[in-house]
Amino acid sequence: MRYRAVGFDLLTALLNTWALWSDVAGSRAAGMRWHGASQDLLRGREYTPFPDIVRGAARAAGVTQEQAEELLSRWGEFEPWPDVPAALEHLGGRRTFIVTNCSKELGLRAGRRAGRFDLIVTAEEAGAYKPDPRPYRTALETLSLAAHDVLFVAGSAHDVGGASRVGMDVYWANRGGAIAPTDATALRVEPDLSGLHETLESRHPVR
C-alpha cells in the first residue's frame, strides 16, 4: 500500500460550504466576496477566534453582523459534494483525518456532515491557520504517521503548498477552478474526487 492514510481539507474539498455563505449573504457574489474576505483575514496566521474572523470578514464584505451570526448558527448545514460519499467508501481501509481552518466546536460540527474520520484537527487546536505547518503536523503526530505515508486531499490552492511543505503528496480537488499555486505542485489535479481512488492505488506518481 503506497499510502497508509488520507488527509482531507474539510470546508472546500469535502463540503459545499460556498452554498451556505451565498444563501446567508443573499447572493453568490456576496457570499463568495464574504468567504474570500475571511480567507484573507486568517490564511497562515496565528489562531484568533474563528467566529471573530467571520464577523470581521462580514464588515469587510459589506455583510451585516446579523448575517454573520446567522452563518455561525447554521454552521454544519453544509452538504457533502455529490462525489464525496462514494470516494470515502473506496479508501481501502486507510486511516483518515481532517485538517480544517475552523474553531474546534464548528470544525466538529461540520466534520460530522462529511462522514466518519479517525481525527479532526482544527486551527484552534493547532494554534494557527493553514497553510502554517502546525495544523498538518498536529494531525501527523497525533496519528503517528510519517508524512510520506499520507496523501493529502487539498481543497484550495494554499493547501497544496501547506501540505507539500510538511512532506505529504497532494491530490487537489480544485472545485473552483483556481489558478495553480506557485509554491508547490500537486501530484494530481481534478475538479472533484473522481481520480482519488486511482491515485491511491497507483504505485507510481500520477501527474
Task: Give 10-residue mean pLDDT values along the chain (207 residues).
Answer: 94 97 98 97 97 98 98 96 96 96 96 96 98 98 98 97 97 96 95 96 61
Mind listing the domains of the chain with CATH numbers?
5-16+78-201 (3.40.50.1000), 18-74 (no CATH)
DSSP 15-33: EE-HHHHHHHHTSHHHHHH
pLDDT in the model for residue 204: 54
pLDDT of residue 206: 44
Q: 66 Cβ partners below 8 Å, 6+ apart? A: none
3-state helix, strand, coil in the chain (%, to 5): 45, 15, 40
Separation CA 3–CA 105 (nearest Å): 30
Q: Please give the helix or strand (H or E) that residue 100 lies within, else none.
A: strand 95-100
